[in-house]
Chain A
Amino acid sequence: METKYLIIGNSIAGVSCIEGIRSIDNVGKIVVVSKEDIQNYSRPLISYYLAGKISENSMAFRSAEFYKENSIELILNVTALSIDTKNNTLITNTGNIRFEKLLIASGGSPIVPNIQGYSKDIQGIFTFTSFSEAKKLKKYVEEEKIDNAVILGGGLIGLKCAEGLLEHNIKIHMVELSDRLLSSTLDKDASNFIETVLMEKGCVVYKNDTIENIYSENNKISKVKLKSGKEIETKLLVIAVGVKPETSFVKDTGIQCNRGILVDQFMKTNISNIFAAGDVAEGKNLITEKSSLIAIWPVAARQGKIAGINMAGGSAVYEGMFPMNAVEIAGVPVISFGITAVDNLENYEILKKSDGKTYKKIVLHNNKIVGSIFLGKIERSGIYAGLIKNQINVAEFKSFLLEEDFGLLILPEKYRKHIVVGDGIEV
């Protein structure tokens, strides 16, 4: 098989790449290969599916018409095995595909740590990063009438899974290795809020702890033992310790990788006709100025689109982004940006405010915002993201940053006009 454009991966980075390509080239053949068996679904929606809030029919973020209108040849159930970069050929389990331009948007795969007693054949142990896993998990929960569960990992995946399981009235034991939940995006105060909310829902949180042993009977999980000694009987364990970039097929191809695939500002790898985007790629972190993995939807969307434009002969630059997260746990919305927890207080200034129901924190470095947390009240938080992205000096209006009615009005006039209208129109 031959194609002008080949895309590995059919989630938001791959789909955005299609949109990028088609904004320039309306006719070039595009083939998309996916290892999954579904035309289109939104990965972050799997927790809503587990919770029973949306049906299988509502999982798509692009319709069937999207693929038709853009003349996409979508090939499902295909696993990429390797890339022959000299002959511009992708080797898969079902055959070879020659390409002129390739995008690697293979995303991530769940990490399963080495735990004593673990075997992938034991029933009742799940990961939670794909729709097929979520479907199996939901079926298991309903058929086995699960009433208690252990989740290993108190990060975003673990919490989203907990949210889904809570809707089934399941008592959750959450085991987290670090000293707080959502440790990569929240500080201790915000994490305590989340923990309290979860405890009110009947969850038990074990921090600074991990699972040491998994016990099974007749190939079904029966119990886990924590490092602290605590034993929990359960028929369900969800392993949610994180994901790693899916780069297995990139090995020995000459494509440069760190933790993820390394790309330049055009999302191009070290091989001139091969691009990478999304959770598999390392892009520029605007705050640290370093190349890093930022495995979030908006980053994947932007990177995919930019890759697509460049693959089609256009010119677009990825300016970089920074970590950000939006999550709602038991009715409490939380949004965080950038660096939210700092130890070295000499270099940072912290502003924070809490009233028991809401929490707001701003982290400053040299009078520029480098991170923030909004808990309970999240409206208008995007303005702060803009201040971080554009590295605006906030010295003049620092005292307003925590104000309830913080808005565009207190921002420097020039910046305000710029974000409100762009060029040529007055505010």
Chain B
Amino acid sequence: MVKPKRIIIKEEYCIGCRLCEIYCVTKHSCAKEIIKMYKEKKIASESGICFEEKGSISFAIQCRHCDDAPCLEACITGAMFRDKDTGRVLHNKEKCVGCWMCVMVCPVGVVKISQSEKRVASKCDLCIDREFPACVENCPNEAIYVVDYEGKKITKE
């Protein structure tokens, strides 16, 4: 199995700005650009990030693309699948019927319910079409960064 790259979280570096969420939504919107997206009004996507904050601690967490992913086993439609080329756990919204089995079994609690027109599951795809996930690229303090399958940090050159 190809192992996916992973997003590592350093909660002590998180300044709670939530830019990760904003850029996640922007990237997954039709407009792909922050002002245009805002003007679209109907936000066609939602953030794949769960942002947590309590007192002075905060962090952003998204799908871990687990090696032994319970959501893959629980999916009754096959909408949740492992991408053979990248090892990522991806989700096909067309196939999903919104049975919430994935929500039920995810121990990290990062599968959300889509707020767009179809009530289906929604989660992080590690920004499938770009080298760097939007959240990581826009984190101002490296509170989230990407490692390859060996755990080596990937930096943008």
Q: Which residues of A contact B (CB under 8 A)?
A: 12, 16, 42, 44-45, 48, 53-54, 58, 60-63, 297-298, 301-302, 305, 324-328, 333, 335, 337, 378-383, 385-386, 389, 405, 407-410, 419-422, 424-427
Contact = CB atoms under 8 A, between A and B. Distances in A.
B23 to A, nearest CB: 21
A364 B93 CA distance: 36
Given A378-B103, A426-B10, A61 B64 contact: no
Interface in B88-111: 95, 97-101, 103-109, 111
A62 B78 contact: yes
Contacts of A379: 103, 109, 112-113
28 contacts: A12-B76, A16-B73, A42-B77, A53-B97, A58-B95, A297-B101, A298-B74, A298-B101, A301-B74, A302-B73, A324-B105, A326-B104, A335-B103, A378-B104, A379-B103, A381-B104, A382-B104, A383-B108, A383-B109, A405-B52, A409-B58, A409-B59, A410-B54, A419-B108, A421-B9, A421-B64, A425-B6, A427-B9
Contacts of B109: 379-383, 407-408
Contact of A420 (B9, B54, B113): B9
Closest 10 pairs between A and B when the two form their complex, measured CB to CB: A386-B107, A380-B109, A301-B73, A382-B106, A326-B100, A383-B109, A298-B74, A61-B78, A409-B52, A407-B52
A379 B108 CA distance: 11
Interface string B59-82: 101001001001001111110000
B11 to A, nearest CB: 6
Contacts of A385: 104-105, 107
Given A379-B103, A409-B54, A45 B11 contact: no
Contact of B105 (A333, A382, A419): A382
Give the interface size class of chain B: 35 or more
B140 interface: no
Given A297-B101, A328-B98, A409-B57, A420 B108 contact: yes
Interface of B: 6, 8-11, 50, 52-54, 57-59, 61, 64, 67, 70, 73-78, 95, 97-101, 103-109, 111-113, 147, 151
B9 A424 contact: no
Contact of A42 (B9, B76, B111): B76
B149 to A, nearest CB: 12
Contacts of A63: 78
B103 to A, nearest CB: 6
A298 B105 contact: yes
A328 B107 contact: no
Contacts of A297: 74, 76, 101
B8 A378 contact: no
A424 B100 contact: no
Nearest to B58: A409
Given A48-B97, A301-B74, A425-B147, 9 more contacts: A12-B76, A45-B76, A58-B95, A61-B77, A302-B73, A327-B100, A328-B99, A379-B112, A420-B9
Nearest to B113: A379
A408 B52 contact: yes
Contacts of A305: 73
Nearest to A44: B76
Given A326-B99, A326-B100, A419-B108, A61 B75 contact: yes
Contacts of A424: 151
Contacts of A328: 98-100
Contacts of B113: 333, 378-379
Contacts of A42: 76-78
A380 B100 contact: no
Given A383-B108, A424-B151, A335 B100 contact: yes
